A and B are shown apart, each in its own frame.
Chain A
């Protein structure tokens, strides 16, 4: 049997066994869960091969499975995150209900993501896509009664996306007679002009939902924030990347062949940028860390979409690099929230304060990830941002880059809010009992933040696979051209050399840290956060010295016009209107048998009247 099949089978079998192992013992369940993930990832990492192809023959449809360099790259993200978040999940799920349910869906969605990546034909792609959708849906509604609306919203939007994709798939089949992606690519030139527009648009709609693109993003904040955090790490880190994966393929193979190429690219890129800007503003407004990160995820996905949509080699590099980075740091942050929620019982930024001394390791992970998220050098996030800006500027998207820059700058606001809310500020007595999260949760976070750090100085680790992925889709080789070792440059030849930056920052930081920290640490004394200059007043226990309410009120007041309109509300109003309409139309069935008989007669009469037109 082929490696891919083995991995899929292990996943499905592992999911089922884990789900039913709840009857035996909770620990067995944990071990099975971790075992499944580890086994599959070990098999995967030891047998990486992009040449093999498995064909499953059905009478009408051949399902073709195989890895391409691009999917290999995404599979790295998926498996890496799956392992780390898996360990984390074991820690987080201790003592929770519905463990089997969680593990089952978790494994299933990982398997489905892997399946998507290895699909070489559209039907298996769609099958795994839908498995991914419903398994993630089941995890979104994990938290019970009050997230049902969220779940439905997520599912409906996903269904809109999936069905538009399905429509594209069947149209492709009718035009090319095959479900293979390679046949689509080769046969795309022969299609009529209308179809050439329709198919990419439908496919992009499908991928745009998962990538939380502007008008289709409304599910994301609620869904991300309501799933268990150990899954949201996957959800936002890896699952959303499936949309990006699809977009990359569409942009690399289909859009390039269109006469309206630039128009579509610009539209999608602008949508991405607007998504980024608006969701950043909304992230600033949030008081719940989960929602904050959820909006932030949408924003970050917006950047990635911008990069992918612009589609120059550097932009592609940027988009894919950011995809990896986003997977790394955003899942770390979701894990941080999960750890804090587990330890304190809430994830509200207004309530939890001053955990820095209680949960130092978590804080370190959060700090590094936040710096990476904000795109500040010398961490990995900066590399991606740099490439994005350079590519936008060198490809003449000046207003776009301004908008992206705006959202990126505004992102500092919520970055700070996140750190300040949880870790800094007053240390309240309410949280004095809080302990550091268990090691099984902290270690994955630290590993992930280490990756952020490493990628800041050695981006070639990731750029190399991206390069091979892009050259698979016949983009020019970018090594020596756009990057070389830890040097990245744009097509004008301007470069940023990461090694001196990292050394410079590190040296200066260490110098001043030594100057301040190690020199004064011994001689000075720690005082609590109650000992501050409060005009001489001695703060009492009940006095609230924490500044949390309306954190960025002035800023929000300044940007108020942009936030007045909410897509969410429009869509909900639309849905409400539809429901009312259906409530009205179902009154056709008024319960009176006679009326039904009259309908029948009217039906006959109408048919008779129309018969000349109907049956010519």
Chain B
């Protein structure tokens, strides 16, 4: 149903309206970005007024928030968490490290570009991005959802081979179950 990018059924409009105002975030607290999330959620910036709310487990979450650099080891877990999330799901890359490796661009054990491995819907740049930027990122994501074009999960499913290839390139001890839906 996400195939037609510009055409949404009325049901989808309602659904997306609900989805964009109810983003349950699974904050994968890697790197230094994790410290920005509490600030975003608590009283000064209060992301909850936008419907953004923490989720405890991947099964409940809509948004995977990756807050910083990802070592290869961490990547493995992130992929698993992502695959455990239920559709519809979105990924927010948080901070420069997820975009181009940031200050770890030449590290031997971090990945440089997150969207080679996971379909990122929204990047938030900065090192680190301030809560205002984070909120901006969430706003962007809501906008995309409202339009019905935040379809990273769809991409992932379609281009699974590509992602798998990239993932297996860096992750040597590959022991995942198949991701077959």
B57 contacts A533, CB within 8 Å?
yes
Binary per-residue interface labels of chain A (531-545) against chain B in the complex, 1 for a CB within 8 Å, 0 otherwise: 101011110000000
With A525-B181, A531-B84, A531-B177 in contact, is A536–B57 under 8 Å at CB? no
Binary per-residue interface labels of chain A (202-240) against chain B in the complex, 1 for a CB within 8 Å, 0 otherwise: 000000000000000000000000000000000000000
Give, as a whole number of angstroms, the nearest-CB distance from B85 to chain A.
9
With A525-B181, A531-B84, A533-B81 in contact, is A538–B57 under 8 Å at CB? no
Closest to A536 in B: B77
Closest to B78 in A: A536
Closest to B82 in A: A536
Contacts of B176 in A (CB 8 A): 538
State in angstroms the CA–CA spacing of A298 and B174 once bound together.
53
Q: Residue B106 at the A interface, CB < 8 A?
A: no
- Interface of A (DSSP majority class): loop
Binary per-residue interface labels of chain A (508-539) against chain B in the complex, 1 for a CB within 8 Å, 0 otherwise: 00000000000000000101000101011110
Q: Residue B101 at the A interface, CB < 8 A?
A: no
Q: Residue B58 at the A interface, CB < 8 A?
A: yes
Closest to B175 in A: A538
Q: Residue B59 at the A interface, CB < 8 A?
A: yes
Q: Residue B80 at the A interface, CB < 8 A?
A: yes
Contacts of B28 in A (CB 8 A): 536
Most B C-beta atoms less than 10 A away, residue of A525, A536, A537: A536
Give, as a whole number of angstroms, the nearest-CB distance from A395 to chain B.
48
Give, as a whole number of angstroms, the nearest-CB distance from A41 to chain B.
52
State in angstroms the CA–CA spacing of A535 and B56 once bound together.
10
With A538-B175, A538-B176 in contact, is A533–B84 under 8 Å at CB? yes
Give, as a whole number of angstroms, the nearest-CB distance from B29 to chain A.
11
State in angstroms the CA–CA spacing of A538 and B79 once bound together.
11
Contacts of B84 in A (CB 8 A): 531, 533
B58 contacts A533, CB within 8 Å?
yes
Closest to A533 in B: B57
A-side interface residues toward B, CB under 8 Å? 525, 527, 531, 533, 535-538
The bracket for how many chain B residues form the interface is: 10 to 19
State in angstroms the CA–CA spacing of A535 and B30 once bound together.
12
State in angstroms the CA–CA spacing of A531 and B84 once bound together.
8
Closest to B56 in A: A533
A533 contacts B59, CB within 8 Å?
yes
Give, as a whole number of angstroms, the nearest-CB distance from B123 to chain A.
21
Give, as a whole number of angstroms, the nearest-CB distance from A66 to chain B.
65
State in angstroms the CA–CA spacing of A373 and B28 once bound together.
44
State in angstroms the CA–CA spacing of A536 and B175 once bound together.
13
Query: Given contacts A533-B81, A536-B78, A538-B76, could you give 19 more A-B pairs where the C-beta distance is less than 8 Å?
Result: A525-B181, A527-B177, A531-B84, A531-B177, A533-B57, A533-B58, A533-B59, A535-B77, A535-B81, A536-B28, A536-B76, A536-B77, A536-B80, A536-B81, A537-B77, A537-B80, A538-B80, A538-B175, A538-B176
Give, as a whole number of angstroms, the nearest-CB distance from A161 to chain B.
54
State in angstroms the CA–CA spacing of A527 and B83 once bound together.
13
Contacts of B58 in A (CB 8 A): 533
Closest to A540 in B: B175
State in angstroms the CA–CA spacing of A142 and B6 once bound together.
76
Contacts of A527 in B (CB 8 A): 177
Q: What would 5 A/B residue contacts be, using CB atoms closer than 8 Å?
A: A535-B77, A536-B76, A536-B80, A536-B81, A537-B77
Contacts of B77 in A (CB 8 A): 535-537
Ranked nearest first, the 6 interchain pairs of A and B with the lowest CB-CB distance are A536-B77, A533-B57, A536-B81, A536-B80, A533-B58, A538-B175
State in angstroms the CA–CA spacing of A537 and B173 once bound together.
13
Contacts of A538 in B (CB 8 A): 76, 80, 175-176
State in angstroms the CA–CA spacing of A525 and B77 once bound together.
22
State in angstroms the CA–CA spacing of A533 and B28 once bound together.
13
Contacts of B76 in A (CB 8 A): 536, 538
Contacts of B57 in A (CB 8 A): 533
State in angstroms the CA–CA spacing of A535 and B181 once bound together.
21
State in angstroms the CA–CA spacing of A533 and B55 once bound together.
12
State in angstroms the CA–CA spacing of A430 and B77 once bound together.
26
Give, as a whole number of angstroms, the nearest-CB distance from B23 to chain A.
18
Contacts of A535 in B (CB 8 A): 77, 81
State in angstroms the CA–CA spacing of A31 and B176 once bound together.
53
Binary per-residue interface labels of chain B (69-81) against chain A in the complex, 1 for a CB within 8 Å, 0 otherwise: 0000000111011
